[in-house]
Structure 1
Amino acid sequence: MSLDVVSTEISTLVVLLNGILTSLCQLLALFVIAIGVTKALFIFLKDALIRPQTPDAFQRSRLAMGYSFSLGLSFLIGATILKTMISSRWDDIARLAAIIAVRTLLNYLLLQAINSSKPETNAVST
């Protein structure tokens, strides 16, 4: 077995594993976001039907959905990095940088909105 054949087989294996990991990250992002949307809907409907505090229900459902969107965006950033790892073209790398910048900005803004909407916890002085 020559060195070129081994190198080709390893390259094929790396590309195959990269595709599997990329698909897994995208599937996890989809799963996390779907669970978050479902959870937020249940929180909102349960609170809206049982209690008259719909603004509170809306806020709590937004927080639940925001956390899942943030985690889903993180998985999608990982998938994009894995997908671009195989490519060595500069336009793919530039596209990766743009996608990561936009998704990171969205994630940052989402986390800022989550943190600003959390109820303030007052320290109890003893």
Structure 2
Amino acid sequence: MEEIIKMITVYLARLVEVGAAMIIGFATIKAFYLYIRDLILNKSPCLPRSEIRQNLGRSLALALEFLLGADILQTAVAPTWDDIGKLAAIAVLRTGLNYFLALEMKEEKANPKLVKD
């Protein structure tokens, strides 16, 4: 029974990782498309570049949360101390990245003039 639960958890973690990769991929393609479109039009951008960055940043923050969830799922069933240590290190790094990304997005939202369009 434990093996079945472990297998389901591993597959679920992989599914969550695929979801995070899709979020990153779609958000990056969308941001790149909007940026290129505004460069080509060059008259009046549909979205300011700061808004494009905000959207991309929100998507990256969401993907980081998904990836952290996937890591937790991978170590949920019968973890070793090595697995727990790796999870702690990954959690600290991803949470730190997410924190500083949110901080930058908050500052940019408060002072949109600081970002050059």
Q: State the match for 2:18 in structure 1.
A: 27
Matched, 1:86 2:77: yes
1:63-78 matches, cutoff 5 A: 63-78=54-69
Structure 1: how far apart are the matches of 2:76 and 2:22? 24
Structure 2: how far apart are the matches of 1:84 and 1:20? 12
Structure 2: how far apart are the matches of 1:73 and 1:19? 18
* Root-mean-square deviation (Å): 2.1
Q: State the match for 1:11 in structure 2.
A: 2
Where does structure 1 lack aligned partners over 5 or more consecutive residues?
1-9, 121-126
Structure of larger gyration radius: 1
Q: Secondary structure at the match of 2:28?
A: helix
Structure 1 runs of 4+ aligned residues shifted over 6 Å read none
- Equivalenced residues, count: 111
Report which structure shows greater RCO (CA 8 Å, sep ≥6): 2
Where does structure 2 lack aligned partners over 5 or more consecutive residues?
112-117
**C-alpha displacement at 1:42, in angstroms?**
1.4
1:41-60 matches, cutoff 5 A: 41-52=32-43, 57-60=48-51
